Structure 1
Protein backbone atom coordinates (compact mmCIF):
# COMPACT_ATOMS: atom_id res chain seq x y z
CA UNK A 1 0.00 0.00 0.00
CA UNK A 2 1.15 3.54 -0.76
CA UNK A 3 1.48 6.37 1.73
CA UNK A 4 -1.39 8.62 2.76
CA UNK A 5 -1.68 12.10 1.27
CA UNK A 6 -3.96 14.98 2.22
CA UNK A 7 -6.52 16.53 -0.18
CA UNK A 8 -4.53 19.77 -0.12
CA UNK A 9 -1.36 17.95 -1.20
CA UNK A 10 -3.27 16.18 -3.97
CA UNK A 11 -4.39 19.44 -5.49
CA UNK A 12 -1.03 21.16 -4.99
CA UNK A 13 1.44 18.44 -5.98
CA UNK A 14 -0.43 15.85 -8.07
CA UNK A 15 -2.46 17.97 -10.49
CA UNK A 16 -1.46 17.74 -14.15
CA UNK A 17 -0.91 21.03 -15.97
CA UNK A 18 -1.86 21.55 -19.60
CA UNK A 19 1.73 20.90 -20.63
CA UNK A 20 1.78 17.76 -18.49
CA UNK A 21 -1.41 16.49 -20.11
CA UNK A 22 -0.02 17.05 -23.57
CA UNK A 23 3.21 15.30 -22.62
CA UNK A 24 1.48 12.25 -21.10
CA UNK A 25 -1.29 11.88 -23.67
CA UNK A 26 1.31 11.75 -26.43
CA UNK A 27 2.27 8.28 -25.18
CA UNK A 28 0.42 4.98 -25.71
CA UNK A 29 -2.68 4.64 -23.53
CA UNK A 30 -1.30 1.67 -21.60
CA UNK A 31 1.69 3.61 -20.28
CA UNK A 32 0.07 6.97 -19.58
CA UNK A 33 -0.78 6.40 -15.93
CA UNK A 34 2.69 5.06 -15.12
CA UNK A 35 4.32 8.00 -16.90
CA UNK A 36 2.07 10.49 -15.06
CA UNK A 37 2.86 8.85 -11.72
CA UNK A 38 6.62 9.12 -12.31
CA UNK A 39 6.26 12.69 -13.59
CA UNK A 40 4.42 14.00 -10.51
CA UNK A 41 6.37 11.82 -8.06
CA UNK A 42 9.65 13.28 -9.31
CA UNK A 43 8.23 16.80 -9.24
CA UNK A 44 7.20 16.28 -5.62
CA UNK A 45 10.26 14.51 -4.18
CA UNK A 46 13.16 15.11 -6.57
CA UNK A 47 13.77 11.44 -7.39
CA UNK A 48 11.94 8.67 -9.25
CA UNK A 49 9.89 5.90 -7.66
CA UNK A 50 11.19 2.35 -8.01
CA UNK A 51 7.80 0.67 -7.64
CA UNK A 52 4.13 1.49 -7.07
CA UNK A 53 4.32 0.98 -3.28
CA UNK A 54 6.23 4.26 -2.94
CA UNK A 55 3.36 6.23 -4.46
CA UNK A 56 0.38 7.30 -2.30
CA UNK A 57 -2.79 5.42 -3.23
CA UNK A 58 -4.82 8.64 -3.34
CA UNK A 59 -2.32 10.12 -5.79
CA UNK A 60 -2.68 7.18 -8.17
CA UNK A 61 -6.48 7.46 -8.07
CA UNK A 62 -6.33 11.22 -8.57
CA UNK A 63 -4.03 10.92 -11.61
CA UNK A 64 -6.16 8.14 -13.10
CA UNK A 65 -9.23 10.34 -12.76
CA UNK A 66 -7.50 13.24 -14.51
CA UNK A 67 -6.39 11.01 -17.39
CA UNK A 68 -9.72 9.21 -17.65
CA UNK A 69 -8.13 5.77 -17.21
CA UNK A 70 -8.53 2.96 -14.68
CA UNK A 71 -6.10 2.56 -11.80
CA UNK A 72 -5.38 -0.98 -12.94
CA UNK A 73 -3.44 0.59 -15.79
CA UNK A 74 -0.50 0.86 -13.39
CA UNK A 75 -0.34 -2.90 -12.74
CA UNK A 76 1.69 -3.67 -15.84
CA UNK A 77 3.98 -0.65 -15.61
CA UNK A 78 7.64 -1.58 -15.16
CA UNK A 79 9.24 1.21 -13.11
CA UNK A 80 12.80 -0.09 -13.49
CA UNK A 81 12.47 -1.65 -16.95
CA UNK A 82 13.57 -0.33 -20.28
CA UNK A 83 10.40 1.67 -20.87
CA UNK A 84 10.52 3.04 -17.33
CA UNK A 85 14.08 4.28 -17.77
CA UNK A 86 13.19 5.88 -21.12
CA UNK A 87 10.25 7.62 -19.47
CA UNK A 88 12.53 9.00 -16.73
CA UNK A 89 14.84 10.51 -19.34
CA UNK A 90 11.86 12.04 -21.16
CA UNK A 91 10.49 13.47 -17.90
CA UNK A 92 13.83 15.16 -17.19
CA UNK A 93 13.79 16.80 -20.62
CA UNK A 94 10.14 17.79 -20.18
CA UNK A 95 10.86 19.47 -16.82
CA UNK A 96 14.11 21.07 -18.00
CA UNK A 97 16.47 19.16 -15.65
CA UNK A 98 20.17 18.50 -16.28
CA UNK A 99 22.61 15.97 -14.91
CA UNK A 100 24.67 16.90 -11.87
CA UNK A 101 28.11 18.29 -12.65
CA UNK A 102 31.21 18.60 -10.49
CA UNK A 103 30.43 22.23 -9.68
CA UNK A 104 26.91 21.22 -8.64
CA UNK A 105 28.30 18.58 -6.31
CA UNK A 106 30.63 21.12 -4.71
CA UNK A 107 27.75 23.57 -4.27
CA UNK A 108 25.57 20.85 -2.76
CA UNK A 109 28.31 19.80 -0.33
CA UNK A 110 28.79 23.43 0.75
CA UNK A 111 25.05 23.83 1.30
CA UNK A 112 24.90 20.67 3.41
CA UNK A 113 27.88 21.81 5.49
CA UNK A 114 26.32 25.16 6.34
CA UNK A 115 22.58 24.45 6.36
CA UNK A 116 21.99 20.78 7.17
CA UNK A 117 24.92 19.36 9.11
CA UNK A 118 24.99 21.86 12.02
CA UNK A 119 21.43 20.95 13.01
CA UNK A 120 22.30 17.28 13.45
CA UNK A 121 19.46 15.92 11.32
CA UNK A 122 19.31 12.20 10.65
CA UNK A 123 20.69 10.73 7.43
CA UNK A 124 17.17 10.08 6.14
CA UNK A 125 16.04 13.66 6.80
CA UNK A 126 19.17 15.08 5.18
CA UNK A 127 18.76 12.80 2.17
CA UNK A 128 15.21 14.02 1.66
CA UNK A 129 16.35 17.65 1.88
CA UNK A 130 19.20 17.00 -0.59
CA UNK A 131 16.83 15.62 -3.23
CA UNK A 132 14.57 18.66 -2.80
CA UNK A 133 17.61 20.95 -3.20
CA UNK A 134 18.45 19.22 -6.47
CA UNK A 135 14.83 19.50 -7.61
CA UNK A 136 14.71 23.21 -6.84
CA UNK A 137 17.95 23.75 -8.78
CA UNK A 138 16.72 21.68 -11.75
CA UNK A 139 19.50 19.16 -11.20
CA UNK A 140 19.09 15.40 -11.50
CA UNK A 141 21.40 13.88 -8.93
CA UNK A 142 23.03 10.45 -8.83
CA UNK A 143 21.40 7.34 -7.40
CA UNK A 144 19.98 7.19 -3.90
CA UNK A 145 22.89 5.10 -2.62
CA UNK A 146 25.46 7.53 -3.97
CA UNK A 147 23.54 10.45 -2.50
CA UNK A 148 23.48 8.67 0.86
CA UNK A 149 27.25 8.18 0.73
CA UNK A 150 27.64 11.91 0.03
CA UNK A 151 25.40 12.79 2.99
CA UNK A 152 27.26 10.49 5.37
CA UNK A 153 30.59 11.85 4.18
CA UNK A 154 29.52 15.45 4.84
CA UNK A 155 28.15 14.54 8.25
CA UNK A 156 31.44 12.91 9.23
CA UNK A 157 33.44 15.85 7.88
CA UNK A 158 31.32 18.29 9.90
CA UNK A 159 31.76 16.27 13.11
CA UNK A 160 35.53 16.07 12.68
CA UNK A 161 35.77 19.81 12.00
CA UNK A 162 33.63 20.59 15.03
CA UNK A 163 35.72 18.41 17.37
CA UNK A 164 38.95 19.84 15.95
CA UNK A 165 37.63 23.35 16.54
CA UNK A 166 36.90 22.51 20.17
CA UNK A 167 40.35 20.97 20.63
CA UNK A 168 42.05 24.01 19.11
CA UNK A 169 40.39 26.29 21.67
CA UNK A 170 41.71 24.35 24.68
CA UNK A 171 44.48 25.97 26.73
CA UNK A 172 47.74 24.01 27.20
CA UNK A 173 47.06 23.49 30.92
CA UNK A 174 43.56 22.28 30.07
CA UNK A 175 44.97 19.74 27.62
CA UNK A 176 47.39 18.52 30.30
CA UNK A 177 44.60 18.03 32.85
CA UNK A 178 42.38 16.22 30.35
CA UNK A 179 45.19 13.89 29.31
CA UNK A 180 45.99 13.19 32.99
CA UNK A 181 42.33 12.31 33.57
CA UNK A 182 42.50 9.76 30.75
CA UNK A 183 45.85 8.32 31.87
CA UNK A 184 44.63 7.72 35.46
CA UNK A 185 40.90 7.11 34.87
CA UNK A 186 40.12 5.86 38.42
CA UNK A 187 41.61 8.84 40.27
CA UNK A 188 39.25 11.30 42.04
CA UNK A 189 39.11 13.34 38.83
CA UNK A 190 39.78 10.49 36.40
CA UNK A 191 37.74 9.64 33.32
CA UNK A 192 35.84 6.77 34.91
CA UNK A 193 35.21 8.70 38.13
CA UNK A 194 33.83 11.70 36.26
CA UNK A 195 31.31 9.41 34.54
CA UNK A 196 30.15 7.72 37.77
CA UNK A 197 26.58 8.15 38.99
CA UNK A 198 25.77 10.64 41.73
CA UNK A 199 25.02 7.99 44.36
CA UNK A 200 23.15 8.27 47.63
CA UNK A 201 22.71 11.45 49.66
CA UNK A 202 25.79 11.18 51.86
CA UNK A 203 28.45 13.66 52.89
CA UNK A 204 31.16 11.70 51.06
CA UNK A 205 29.19 11.75 47.83
CA UNK A 206 28.55 15.47 48.11
CA UNK A 207 32.25 16.16 48.65
CA UNK A 208 33.21 13.88 45.75
CA UNK A 209 30.78 15.67 43.44
CA UNK A 210 32.15 19.02 44.56
CA UNK A 211 35.68 17.86 43.63
CA UNK A 212 34.55 16.74 40.18
CA UNK A 213 32.72 20.01 39.60
CA UNK A 214 35.75 22.03 40.68
CA UNK A 215 37.95 20.01 38.31
CA UNK A 216 35.69 20.72 35.32
CA UNK A 217 35.32 24.41 36.12
CA UNK A 218 39.10 24.87 36.32
CA UNK A 219 39.44 23.65 32.73
CA UNK A 220 37.93 26.88 31.28
CA UNK A 221 36.26 24.95 28.46
CA UNK A 222 35.04 26.84 25.34
CA UNK A 223 31.34 26.49 26.11
CA UNK A 224 30.36 29.00 23.43
CA UNK A 225 31.28 26.41 20.78
CA UNK A 226 28.38 24.19 21.81
CA UNK A 227 26.07 26.50 19.89
CA UNK A 228 27.88 25.54 16.69
CA UNK A 229 26.37 22.05 16.73
CA UNK A 230 22.76 21.05 17.25
CA UNK A 231 21.52 19.12 20.26
CA UNK A 232 21.45 15.79 18.34
CA UNK A 233 25.22 16.10 17.76
CA UNK A 234 25.90 16.91 21.42
CA UNK A 235 23.69 14.04 22.60
CA UNK A 236 25.46 11.67 20.21
CA UNK A 237 28.89 12.71 21.49
CA UNK A 238 27.83 12.38 25.14
CA UNK A 239 26.37 8.91 24.51
CA UNK A 240 29.52 7.78 22.71
CA UNK A 241 31.92 9.02 25.39
CA UNK A 242 29.64 7.64 28.10
CA UNK A 243 29.95 4.10 26.70
CA UNK A 244 33.70 4.12 26.03
CA UNK A 245 36.48 3.17 28.41
CA UNK A 246 39.56 5.30 28.95
CA UNK A 247 41.65 2.90 26.85
CA UNK A 248 39.21 3.32 23.95
CA UNK A 249 39.28 7.10 24.28
CA UNK A 250 43.08 7.11 24.15
CA UNK A 251 42.98 5.30 20.80
CA UNK A 252 41.31 8.27 19.09
CA UNK A 253 43.39 10.79 17.18
CA UNK A 254 44.60 13.55 19.55
CA UNK A 255 42.26 16.31 18.38
CA UNK A 256 39.29 13.96 18.18
CA UNK A 257 40.07 12.62 21.66
CA UNK A 258 40.33 16.09 23.18
CA UNK A 259 37.23 17.34 21.37
CA UNK A 260 35.09 14.37 22.43
CA UNK A 261 36.13 14.56 26.09
CA UNK A 262 35.83 18.37 26.24
CA UNK A 263 32.26 18.33 24.88
CA UNK A 264 31.37 15.54 27.29
CA UNK A 265 32.76 17.52 30.23
CA UNK A 266 30.77 20.62 29.27
CA UNK A 267 27.55 18.61 29.43
CA UNK A 268 28.70 16.63 32.45
CA UNK A 269 29.18 19.84 34.42
CA UNK A 270 25.46 20.62 34.19
CA UNK A 271 24.59 17.02 35.09
CA UNK A 272 26.78 17.16 38.20
CA UNK A 273 25.18 20.43 39.30
CA UNK A 274 21.74 18.88 38.87
CA UNK A 275 22.89 15.85 40.85
CA UNK A 276 24.15 18.01 43.69
CA UNK A 277 20.83 19.85 43.82
CA UNK A 278 18.98 16.54 43.98
CA UNK A 279 21.19 15.35 46.84
CA UNK A 280 20.65 18.64 48.69
CA UNK A 281 16.88 18.40 48.31
CA UNK A 282 16.95 14.80 49.51
CA UNK A 283 19.09 15.81 52.50
CA UNK A 284 16.73 18.65 53.42
CA UNK A 285 13.81 16.25 53.17
CA UNK A 286 15.51 13.82 55.53
CA UNK A 287 16.24 16.62 58.00
CA UNK A 288 12.60 17.69 57.86
CA UNK A 289 11.30 14.16 58.45
CA UNK A 290 13.64 13.63 61.40
CA UNK A 291 12.75 17.03 62.90
CA UNK A 292 9.06 16.28 62.64
CA UNK A 293 9.48 12.93 64.35
CA UNK A 294 11.51 14.56 67.12
CA UNK A 295 8.92 17.29 67.68
CA UNK A 296 6.05 14.81 67.75
CA UNK A 297 7.87 12.61 70.23
CA UNK A 298 8.62 15.60 72.51
CA UNK A 299 5.04 16.83 72.46
CA UNK A 300 3.74 13.34 73.09
CA UNK A 301 5.87 13.18 76.23
CA UNK A 302 4.43 16.52 77.38
CA UNK A 303 0.84 15.40 76.99
CA UNK A 304 -0.69 13.77 80.04
CA UNK A 305 -3.57 11.67 78.83
CA UNK A 306 -6.65 12.17 80.99
CA UNK A 307 -9.18 9.33 80.78
CA UNK A 308 -12.89 9.58 81.59
CA UNK A 309 -13.22 13.26 80.77
CA UNK A 310 -16.85 12.84 79.63
CA UNK A 311 -17.92 11.19 82.88
CA UNK A 312 -16.02 13.82 84.88
CA UNK A 313 -17.86 16.58 83.00
CA UNK A 314 -21.21 15.02 83.98
CA UNK A 315 -20.20 14.86 87.64
CA UNK A 316 -19.04 18.49 87.63
CA UNK A 317 -22.32 19.60 85.99
CA UNK A 318 -24.39 17.66 88.53
CA UNK A 319 -22.49 19.13 91.47
CA UNK A 320 -22.83 22.67 90.07
CA UNK A 321 -26.60 22.28 89.64
CA UNK A 322 -27.07 20.97 93.17
CA UNK A 323 -25.13 23.86 94.73
CA UNK A 324 -25.24 26.78 92.27
CA UNK A 325 -24.23 29.29 94.92
CA UNK A 326 -21.39 27.30 96.39
CA UNK A 327 -17.69 27.96 96.02
CA UNK A 328 -15.60 26.04 93.48
CA UNK A 329 -13.32 24.66 96.16
CA UNK A 330 -16.35 23.35 98.08
CA UNK A 331 -18.50 22.09 95.16
CA UNK A 332 -16.24 21.22 92.18
CA UNK A 333 -12.93 20.12 93.71
CA UNK A 334 -14.51 17.25 95.70
CA UNK A 335 -15.77 15.82 92.36
CA UNK A 336 -12.74 16.71 90.16
CA UNK A 337 -9.50 17.57 91.92
CA UNK A 338 -7.36 20.56 91.03
CA UNK A 339 -4.55 18.41 89.62
CA UNK A 340 -6.89 16.49 87.30
CA UNK A 341 -8.41 19.72 85.96
CA UNK A 342 -4.91 21.12 85.37
CA UNK A 343 -4.01 17.95 83.42
CA UNK A 344 -7.04 18.39 81.18
CA UNK A 345 -6.00 21.98 80.43
CA UNK A 346 -2.43 20.92 79.58
CA UNK A 347 -3.66 18.18 77.26
CA UNK A 348 -5.91 20.57 75.38
CA UNK A 349 -3.23 23.24 74.95
CA UNK A 350 -0.60 20.71 73.84
CA UNK A 351 -2.86 19.29 71.14
CA UNK A 352 -3.79 22.75 69.94
CA UNK A 353 -0.16 23.79 69.38
CA UNK A 354 1.13 20.56 67.88
CA UNK A 355 0.81 21.57 64.22
CA UNK A 356 2.15 25.06 64.89
CA UNK A 357 5.28 23.72 66.60
CA UNK A 358 5.93 21.22 63.81
CA UNK A 359 5.67 24.00 61.24
CA UNK A 360 8.08 26.21 63.18
CA UNK A 361 10.71 23.47 63.46
CA UNK A 362 10.39 22.47 59.80
CA UNK A 363 10.75 26.09 58.69
CA UNK A 364 13.80 26.55 60.86
CA UNK A 365 15.41 23.40 59.41
CA UNK A 366 14.97 24.54 55.81
CA UNK A 367 16.29 28.02 56.58
CA UNK A 368 19.37 26.56 58.24
CA UNK A 369 20.14 24.34 55.22
CA UNK A 370 19.58 27.21 52.79
CA UNK A 371 22.12 29.35 54.67
Structure 2
Protein backbone atom coordinates (compact mmCIF):
# COMPACT_ATOMS: atom_id res chain seq x y z
CA UNK A 1 0.00 0.00 0.00
CA UNK A 2 0.99 3.63 -0.48
CA UNK A 3 1.61 6.19 2.21
CA UNK A 4 -1.25 7.25 4.42
CA UNK A 5 -2.88 10.63 3.85
CA UNK A 6 -4.06 11.50 7.33
CA UNK A 7 -7.58 12.36 8.40
CA UNK A 8 -7.86 15.62 6.48
CA UNK A 9 -6.53 14.15 3.25
CA UNK A 10 -8.72 11.08 3.51
CA UNK A 11 -11.88 13.09 4.10
CA UNK A 12 -11.05 15.49 1.28
CA UNK A 13 -10.06 12.98 -1.39
CA UNK A 14 -11.78 9.69 -0.49
CA UNK A 15 -15.26 10.72 0.56
CA UNK A 16 -17.98 9.62 -1.88
CA UNK A 17 -20.60 12.14 -2.95
CA UNK A 18 -24.26 11.11 -3.09
CA UNK A 19 -24.07 10.82 -6.88
CA UNK A 20 -20.92 8.70 -6.69
CA UNK A 21 -22.51 6.40 -4.12
CA UNK A 22 -25.42 5.92 -6.52
CA UNK A 23 -23.07 4.54 -9.17
CA UNK A 24 -22.37 1.51 -6.90
CA UNK A 25 -25.93 0.18 -6.59
CA UNK A 26 -25.47 -2.83 -8.86
CA UNK A 27 -22.07 -3.84 -7.48
CA UNK A 28 -21.14 -5.97 -4.47
CA UNK A 29 -18.11 -7.30 -2.57
CA UNK A 30 -14.64 -6.77 -3.98
CA UNK A 31 -16.09 -5.40 -7.23
CA UNK A 32 -17.98 -2.70 -5.31
CA UNK A 33 -14.92 -1.69 -3.31
CA UNK A 34 -12.53 -1.83 -6.27
CA UNK A 35 -14.85 0.33 -8.40
CA UNK A 36 -15.18 2.94 -5.62
CA UNK A 37 -11.45 3.00 -4.91
CA UNK A 38 -10.61 3.49 -8.59
CA UNK A 39 -13.13 6.34 -8.75
CA UNK A 40 -11.71 8.23 -5.79
CA UNK A 41 -8.11 7.69 -6.87
CA UNK A 42 -9.00 9.14 -10.29
CA UNK A 43 -10.55 12.29 -8.83
CA UNK A 44 -7.58 12.62 -6.44
CA UNK A 45 -4.62 12.01 -8.74
CA UNK A 46 -6.14 12.61 -12.17
CA UNK A 47 -5.48 9.02 -13.28
CA UNK A 48 -6.35 5.46 -12.35
CA UNK A 49 -4.16 3.39 -10.00
CA UNK A 50 -1.87 0.98 -11.82
CA UNK A 51 -1.69 -1.40 -8.85
CA UNK A 52 -2.99 -1.83 -5.32
CA UNK A 53 0.34 -0.66 -3.84
CA UNK A 54 -0.38 2.91 -4.98
CA UNK A 55 -3.46 3.18 -2.75
CA UNK A 56 -3.21 4.90 0.65
CA UNK A 57 -4.33 2.39 3.33
CA UNK A 58 -6.36 4.93 5.29
CA UNK A 59 -8.07 6.02 2.05
CA UNK A 60 -9.08 2.41 1.32
CA UNK A 61 -10.41 2.01 4.88
CA UNK A 62 -12.47 5.18 4.55
CA UNK A 63 -14.01 4.07 1.25
CA UNK A 64 -14.66 0.54 2.57
CA UNK A 65 -16.71 1.91 5.48
CA UNK A 66 -18.80 4.03 3.10
CA UNK A 67 -19.61 1.19 0.70
CA UNK A 68 -20.15 -1.43 3.42
CA UNK A 69 -17.40 -3.80 2.31
CA UNK A 70 -14.39 -4.96 4.37
CA UNK A 71 -11.15 -3.35 3.27
CA UNK A 72 -9.53 -6.78 3.06
CA UNK A 73 -11.82 -7.61 0.11
CA UNK A 74 -9.68 -5.37 -2.08
CA UNK A 75 -7.10 -8.18 -2.20
CA UNK A 76 -9.50 -10.04 -4.51
CA UNK A 77 -9.82 -7.15 -6.97
CA UNK A 78 -7.37 -7.46 -9.89
CA UNK A 79 -6.55 -4.01 -11.25
CA UNK A 80 -5.24 -5.54 -14.50
CA UNK A 81 -8.30 -7.69 -15.18
CA UNK A 82 -10.83 -7.12 -17.93
CA UNK A 83 -13.42 -6.31 -15.26
CA UNK A 84 -11.20 -3.53 -13.88
CA UNK A 85 -10.64 -2.15 -17.39
CA UNK A 86 -14.39 -2.22 -17.97
CA UNK A 87 -14.86 -0.31 -14.72
CA UNK A 88 -12.39 2.35 -15.89
CA UNK A 89 -14.31 2.76 -19.12
CA UNK A 90 -17.55 3.11 -17.16
CA UNK A 91 -15.98 5.66 -14.83
CA UNK A 92 -14.76 7.74 -17.78
CA UNK A 93 -18.31 7.94 -19.07
CA UNK A 94 -19.60 8.92 -15.63
CA UNK A 95 -16.96 11.52 -14.74
CA UNK A 96 -15.94 13.02 -18.10
CA UNK A 97 -12.30 12.01 -17.77
CA UNK A 98 -10.76 10.59 -20.94
CA UNK A 99 -7.51 9.17 -22.23
CA UNK A 100 -5.10 11.57 -23.90
CA UNK A 101 -5.62 11.56 -27.67
CA UNK A 102 -3.38 12.84 -30.45
CA UNK A 103 -5.61 15.91 -30.73
CA UNK A 104 -5.21 16.52 -26.99
CA UNK A 105 -1.42 16.33 -27.30
CA UNK A 106 -1.34 18.92 -30.10
CA UNK A 107 -3.61 21.25 -28.15
CA UNK A 108 -1.56 20.82 -24.97
CA UNK A 109 1.65 21.71 -26.82
CA UNK A 110 -0.03 24.85 -28.18
CA UNK A 111 -1.20 25.79 -24.68
CA UNK A 112 2.27 25.33 -23.21
CA UNK A 113 3.86 27.46 -25.92
CA UNK A 114 1.41 30.29 -25.21
CA UNK A 115 2.23 30.11 -21.50
CA UNK A 116 6.02 29.72 -21.53
CA UNK A 117 7.41 31.34 -24.70
CA UNK A 118 7.95 34.76 -23.12
CA UNK A 119 8.80 33.68 -19.58
CA UNK A 120 9.36 30.29 -17.91
CA UNK A 121 11.37 27.66 -19.79
CA UNK A 122 12.55 25.30 -17.04
CA UNK A 123 11.44 21.76 -17.75
CA UNK A 124 10.09 21.06 -14.26
CA UNK A 125 7.90 24.16 -14.43
CA UNK A 126 6.67 23.18 -17.88
CA UNK A 127 5.85 19.68 -16.64
CA UNK A 128 3.89 21.10 -13.69
CA UNK A 129 1.87 23.35 -16.03
CA UNK A 130 1.20 20.40 -18.35
CA UNK A 131 -0.15 18.25 -15.52
CA UNK A 132 -2.25 21.15 -14.23
CA UNK A 133 -3.81 21.73 -17.65
CA UNK A 134 -4.50 18.03 -18.19
CA UNK A 135 -6.28 17.89 -14.87
CA UNK A 136 -8.33 20.99 -15.74
CA UNK A 137 -9.32 19.38 -19.06
CA UNK A 138 -10.04 15.98 -17.41
CA UNK A 139 -7.31 14.30 -19.47
CA UNK A 140 -5.55 11.25 -18.09
CA UNK A 141 -1.78 11.63 -18.48
CA UNK A 142 -0.31 9.57 -21.35
CA UNK A 143 2.82 7.49 -20.99
CA UNK A 144 5.98 9.04 -19.55
CA UNK A 145 7.58 9.00 -23.01
CA UNK A 146 4.62 10.87 -24.50
CA UNK A 147 4.73 13.44 -21.69
CA UNK A 148 8.43 14.02 -22.42
CA UNK A 149 7.65 14.43 -26.13
CA UNK A 150 4.98 17.04 -25.40
CA UNK A 151 7.37 19.00 -23.17
CA UNK A 152 10.26 18.90 -25.67
CA UNK A 153 7.99 19.99 -28.51
CA UNK A 154 6.61 22.87 -26.45
CA UNK A 155 10.09 24.05 -25.44
CA UNK A 156 11.30 23.94 -29.06
CA UNK A 157 8.30 25.85 -30.40
CA UNK A 158 8.53 28.39 -27.57
CA UNK A 159 12.17 29.09 -28.47
CA UNK A 160 11.23 29.56 -32.13
CA UNK A 161 8.43 31.97 -31.24
CA UNK A 162 10.71 33.98 -28.93
CA UNK A 163 13.34 34.32 -31.68
CA UNK A 164 10.72 35.36 -34.24
CA UNK A 165 9.28 37.93 -31.84
CA UNK A 166 12.73 39.40 -31.10
CA UNK A 167 13.50 39.63 -34.82
CA UNK A 168 10.18 41.38 -35.46
CA UNK A 169 10.87 43.94 -32.74
CA UNK A 170 14.36 44.66 -34.07
CA UNK A 171 12.99 45.14 -37.57
CA UNK A 172 10.28 47.48 -36.29
CA UNK A 173 12.83 49.52 -34.32
CA UNK A 174 15.16 49.79 -37.31
CA UNK A 175 12.32 50.81 -39.59
CA UNK A 176 11.11 53.54 -37.23
CA UNK A 177 14.63 55.01 -36.88
CA UNK A 178 14.94 55.65 -40.59
CA UNK A 179 13.77 59.20 -41.50
CA UNK A 180 11.67 59.24 -44.65
CA UNK A 181 13.10 61.23 -47.63
CA UNK A 182 11.82 64.83 -47.92
CA UNK A 183 8.98 65.21 -50.36
CA UNK A 184 9.83 66.65 -53.78
CA UNK A 185 8.52 70.25 -53.94
CA UNK A 186 6.00 70.72 -56.65
CA UNK A 187 6.48 73.62 -59.08
CA UNK A 188 3.75 76.24 -58.83
CA UNK A 189 1.52 76.16 -61.78
CA UNK A 190 1.13 79.64 -63.44
CA UNK A 191 -2.26 81.11 -63.26
CA UNK A 192 -4.14 81.07 -66.53
CA UNK A 193 -3.87 84.45 -68.16
CA UNK A 194 -6.87 85.55 -70.13
CA UNK A 195 -6.00 86.84 -73.54
CA UNK A 196 -8.60 89.24 -74.80
CA UNK A 197 -10.03 88.20 -78.09
CA UNK A 198 -8.83 90.00 -81.20
CA UNK A 199 -11.31 92.36 -82.78
CA UNK A 200 -13.01 90.85 -85.75
CA UNK A 201 -11.33 91.56 -89.03
CA UNK A 202 -13.37 93.16 -91.72
CA UNK A 203 -12.92 91.12 -94.86
CA UNK A 204 -14.82 92.48 -97.84
CA UNK A 205 -16.83 90.05 -99.72
CA UNK A 206 -15.98 89.26 -103.29
CA UNK A 207 -17.00 92.15 -105.48
CA UNK A 208 -17.23 94.55 -102.54
CA UNK A 209 -15.13 97.72 -102.57
CA UNK A 210 -12.57 97.93 -99.75
CA UNK A 211 -13.36 100.75 -97.36
CA UNK A 212 -10.18 102.23 -95.79
CA UNK A 213 -12.19 103.58 -92.88
CA UNK A 214 -12.92 100.06 -91.79
CA UNK A 215 -9.25 99.71 -90.78
CA UNK A 216 -9.63 102.35 -88.12
CA UNK A 217 -7.39 104.85 -90.02
CA UNK A 218 -4.36 102.59 -90.02
CA UNK A 219 -3.76 103.07 -93.73
CA UNK A 220 -3.96 106.86 -93.44
CA UNK A 221 -1.35 106.79 -90.72
CA UNK A 222 0.89 104.57 -92.77
CA UNK A 223 0.70 106.76 -95.87
CA UNK A 224 1.33 109.85 -93.73
CA UNK A 225 4.63 108.41 -92.56
CA UNK A 226 5.89 107.58 -96.04
2:46 equivalent to 1:46: yes
Note if contact 2:116-2:158 (Cα within 8 Å) is conserved in structure 1. Answer: no
When residues 16 and 147 of structure 1 are mapped into structure 2, their CA distance, relative to the original with a 3 A threshold, is same
Note if contact 1:46-1:132 (Cα within 8 Å) is conserved in structure 2. Answer: no
Note if contact 1:45-1:131 (Cα within 8 Å) is conserved in structure 2. Answer: no
Note if contact 1:41-1:48 (Cα within 8 Å) is conserved in structure 2. Answer: yes
When residues 126 and 6 of structure 1 are mapped into structure 2, their CA distance, relative to the original with a 3 A threshold, is farther
How far apart are 1:2 and its partner, in Å? 0.8
How far apart are 1:149 and its partner, in Å? 2.3
Note if contact 1:47-1:131 (Cα within 8 Å) is conserved in structure 2. Answer: no
2:82 equivalent to 1:86: no
* SS of corresponding position for 2:77: coil
When residues 99 and 2 of structure 1 are mapped into structure 2, their CA distance, relative to the original with a 3 A threshold, is closer
Kindly provide the CA deviation profile for residues 116-151 of structure 1, in whole angstroms up to 9, marking residues without a partner as x: 57434544x644543442332234454443233212
Structure 1 or 2, whichever has the larger Rg, is: 2
Alignment map for 1:1-371 (pairs within 5 Å): 1-100=1-100, 103-115=103-115, 118-123=119-124, 126-127=126-127, 129-140=129-140, 142-159=142-159, 161-162=161-162, 164=163, 168=167
* SS of corresponding position for 1:75: helix
CA distance in 2: counterparts of 1:121 and 1:82, whole angstroms: 40
Kindly provide the CA deviation profile for residues 305-324 of structure 1, in whole angstroms up to 9, marking residues without a partner as x: xxxxxxxxxxxxxxxxxxxx
CA distance in 1: counterparts of 2:83 and 2:77, whole angstroms: 9
CA distance in 2: counterparts of 1:57 and 1:126, whole angstroms: 32
Note if contact 1:24-1:32 (Cα within 8 Å) is conserved in structure 2. Answer: yes
Note if contact 1:112-1:154 (Cα within 8 Å) is conserved in structure 2. Answer: yes
When residues 76 and 156 of structure 1 are mapped into structure 2, their CA distance, relative to the original with a 3 A threshold, is farther
* SS of corresponding position for 1:3: coil
When residues 102 and 79 of structure 1 are mapped into structure 2, their CA distance, relative to the original with a 3 A threshold, is same
Unaligned runs of 5+ in 1: 172-371
CA distance in 2: counterparts of 1:24 and 1:115, whole angstroms: 40
Higher relative contact order (CA 8 A, sep 6+): 2
When residues 159 and 136 of structure 1 are mapped into structure 2, their CA distance, relative to the original with a 3 A threshold, is same
How far apart are 1:50 and its partner, in Å? 0.5
CA distance in 1: counterparts of 2:57 and 2:156, whole angstroms: 37
* SS of corresponding position for 1:72: helix
TM-score (norm 1): 0.39
Paired positions, count: 169
When residues 165 and 47 of structure 1 are mapped into structure 2, their CA distance, relative to the original with a 3 A threshold, is same
CA distance in 1: counterparts of 2:120 and 2:148, whole angstroms: 17
Kindly provide the CA deviation profile for residues 284-338 of structure 1, in whole angstroms up to 9, marking residues without a partner as x: xxxxxxxxxxxxxxxxxxxxxxxxxxxxxxxxxxxxxxxxxxxxxxxxxxxxxxx
How far apart are 1:157 and its partner, in Å? 3.6
| Root mean square deviation, CA, Å | 3.1
When residues 102 and 81 of structure 1 are mapped into structure 2, their CA distance, relative to the original with a 3 A threshold, is same
